[in-house]
């Protein structure tokens, strides 16, 4: 039997790495799609490549430019948010339409290799402020690609982490033997994680709630 093929959006962070291991467990042959979009934490790209290689997955690095301001994740003159983990407002790290753009490339790649699914590690529990992390969005996105592509194969849009807490993701990853020591979460791209940005805090809280020591810290 020919194995199923999936495109996995891999950032090199904790969620998308768990996602890759999960897709592999589900029997998919994975092609990882890694974006270089001049993010502050470009360091995550090296993590992503290392993880793709470790799982012997194909990978493509797509370089894109987003030459408009608006996000503190792209604009080094803006301060990264820190302190509060849960916000009602959309955080300043929001990059307009980022998931829409990433998924569009994944669909293009997926159609080119006749993939069966596109996996994205979006998560609504921690990122409730991002409009493109909501399940209604993914439903609409799927409807849009069904009509907007050749559609010779029906590409599924899989979001298995959508409703998991960070602690649940980490526990899942532990079972899947995800090498979290290779992942990178910090929004700053310094030598060691800053420990205070939203992403660092979510990670720390997740490991703490899961009762697991972050192997990144241990290494």
Q: Which residues does 143 contact at the CB level (< 8 Å), separation at least 6?
A: none
Q: Is 213 in the site for its own copies (CB under 8 A)?
A: no
Helix (H, G, I), strand (E, B) or coil at 34: strand
Over the window 138 to 177, marking each residue x when it contacts its own copies by CB under 8 A and - when it does not, the resulting string is --xx-xxxxxxxxx--------------------------
Tokens of 216: 């990144």
Q: Is 96 in the site for its own copies (CB under 8 A)?
A: yes
The CA distance from 65 to 69, in Å, is 11
On whether the CB atoms of residues 41 and 58 are closer than 8 A, the answer is no
Nearer to its own copies, 105 or 212 (CB): 105
Over the window 23 to 62, marking each residue x when it contacts its own copies by CB under 8 A and - when it does not, the resulting string is -------------------------------------xxx
Instruction: Please tell me what DSSP assigns to residue 82.
Output: B
CA-wise closest residue to 28 among 53, 54, 8, 10: 8
Nearer to its own copies, 63 or 86 (CB): 63
Q: Which residues does 146 contact at the CB level (< 8 Å), separation at least 6?
A: 154
Q: How far is CA 59 from the centre of its chain?
A: 14
Q: Is 97 in the site for its own copies (CB under 8 A)?
A: yes
The CB-of-146 to its own copies minimum distance in angstroms stands at 8
Over the window 56 to 85, marking each residue x when it contacts its own copies by CB under 8 A and - when it does not, the resulting string is ----xxxxxxxxxxx---------------
**Residues near its own copies, by CB under 8 A:** 60-70, 90, 94-101, 104-105, 107-109, 111-113, 131-132, 134, 136-137, 140-141, 143-151
């Amino acid at each position: 039997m020919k194995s199923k093929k999936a495109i996995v959006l891999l950032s090199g962070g904790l969620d998308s790495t768990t996602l890759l291991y999960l897709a592999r467990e589900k029997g998919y042959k994975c092609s990882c799609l890694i974006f270089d979009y001049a993010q502050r934490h470009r360091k995550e790209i090296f993590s992503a490549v290392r993880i793709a290689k470790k799982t012997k997955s194909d990978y493509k690095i797509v370089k894109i430019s987003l030459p408009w301001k608006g996000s503190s994740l792209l604009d080094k003159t803006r301060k990264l948010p820190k302190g509060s983990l849960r916000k009602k407002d959309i955080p300043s790290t929001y990059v307009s339409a980022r998931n829409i753009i990433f998924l569009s490339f994944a669909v293009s790649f997926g159609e080119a290799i006749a993939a069966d699914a596109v996996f994205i590690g979006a998560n609504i529990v921690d990122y409730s402020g991002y409009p493109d992390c909501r399940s209604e969005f993914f439903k609409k996105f799927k409807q849009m690609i069904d009509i907007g592509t050749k559609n010779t194969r029906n590409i599924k849009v899989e979001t298995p982490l959508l409703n998991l807490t960070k602690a649940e993701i980490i526990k899942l990853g532990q079972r899947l033997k995800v090498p979290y020591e290779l992942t990178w979460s910090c929004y700053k791209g310094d030598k060691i994680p800053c420990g205070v940005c939203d992403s660092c805090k979510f990670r720390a809280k997740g490991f703490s709630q899961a009762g697991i020591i972050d192997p990144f810290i241990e290494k």
